[in-house]
Structure 1
Amino acid sequence: MLDTFLDWHREVLARKCAGLTDEQLRRRAVPSSNLSLLGLMRHLAGVERWYFQAVIADDWRGSLYTATGDADEDFNNVAAATGAATLALWREQVERSRRITAERPLDAVGTVPAGGDHPTAGRSYTLRWVLVHMIDEYARHNGHADLIREAIDGTAGE
């Protein structure tokens, strides 16, 4: 059930981004926010990578976005990003997450890598917790995506 809900939310994000030009995907449609659909997809690719690969699989290969040193680079550095490349990267991270999930029981425990400056370094999480957290992460950002998409072309709803 957790996999199904998470996959549903993943596909909501894909639908929110479908059929738009790169310029539209980069558009920050809410003047007070740095959020764009492209930035949301980049952010969620990074979150997928962090929780499933680094925490659950203990296979941290580094952040996806490190060109500028900006902690919010996934949202802020989108000027040269394309929808096709971002979608492909996001889908790659999702597929890795699915494989990691399929290989482990829900009670498998992973630990946030020590070192670095992550505020939860050393904390342990079960795969079940990660799946629930990811559902929450996507649900929150899909709300953002809905508002952004509506501001771009009037498309609203699931």
Structure 2
Amino acid sequence: MTTWTAPEIDRTHEPLVGDERTMLEGWLGYHRDTLLHKCAGLTAEQLRTASVEPSGLSLLGLVLHMTEVERSWFRQRFAGQDLPDLYDFDADNDAEFHAAADADPEAAFAAFRVEVDAARAATAGRSLDETFTLTRSDGTPTFNLRWVYVHMIEEYARHNGHADLIRERIDGVTGE
């Protein structure tokens, strides 16, 4: 029996020139690929390895989290698709991170790819200026697609920093 390992990824690099849409989509694609790149070659057990006590943050938890974040911002909020959350956040605000202990990594990576493809489909041909309404706790009622792209790049960049440290703890691999 072979053990599943996270596949190697041919990471798309960020664009160096282009219009605004090209730059936003390119940088988001780069960060999506970077998260998977940080997981490449690791076993299920390694992907579940927590960063450092008391944190339970793991690479698999980050993949599960970003799958939910992709779904939430692009499909549920921006595109208005009536989709259930992937986790019961009423019961556990960090449900996707806690789910990593029992999650099937191969299925989690497949779900991530599905959500990324669905996010691309939900935004295809839509204007960066297109708005949607969502009232957050800070009272912000209206967002545009441009904001979502910038937020997602920020979200991935922050979590890819976490992924760097977790990967280094697992096997000493560092770098881009």
Q: Which TM-score applies when normalising by structure 2?
A: 0.81
Asked if 1:50 is matched to 2:68, the reply is: no
Please name the residue that 1:134 is paired with.
152
In 2, distance between residues paired with 1:127 and 1:80? Answer: 34
Q: Displaced runs of 4+ in structure 1, greater than 6 A? A: none
3-state SS, counterpart of residue 49 of structure 1: helix
2:148 is matched by which residue type in structure 1?
A: V
- DSSP 3-state at the match of 2:101: coil
Residues 74 and 90 (structure 1), Cα distance of their counterparts in 2 relative to 1, 3 Å cut: same
Match of 2:58 in 1: 36
Question: What residue ranges of structure 2 are gaps of 5+ in the alignment?
Answer: 1-22
The whole-number CA distance in structure 1 between the counterparts of 2:140 and 2:51 is 38
How big is the alpha-carbon RMSD for the aligned residues of Structure 1 and Structure 2? Answer: 1.8
Aligned length: 154
Matched, 1:152 2:152: no
CA distance in 1, matches of 2:104, 2:138: 32
Superposed CA offset, 1:119-153 (max 9, x none): 36882210000000000000000000000001001
Aligned pair in 2 of structure 1 residues 67, 136: CA closer, same or farther (>3 Å)? closer
Q: Which protein shows a greater Rg? A: 2
- In 2, the alpha carbon distance for the partners of 1:29 and 1:68 equals 25
Q: Answer yes or no: is the 8 Å Cα contact 1:58–1:111 preserved in 2.
A: no
State the TM-score, normalizing by the size of structure 1: 0.90
Tell me how far apart the structure 2 counterparts of residues 67 and 133 of structure 1 sit (CA, whole Å).
21
Q: Deviations over 1:74-117 (max 9, x none)?
A: 011222212111101111111111111223011011222x7xxx
In structure 2, what is the Cα distance between the partners aligned to 1:68 and 1:106? 31
Output the CA distance in 2 between the equivalents of 1:12 and 1:65: 24
Q: Which runs of 5+ in 1 are unaligned?
A: none
Indicate how the Cα distance of structure 1 residues 133 and 99 shifts in structure 2: closer, same or farther if over 3 A, else same: same
Aligned AA (1:79): A
Aligned partners of 1:50 and 1:60 also within 8 Å: no
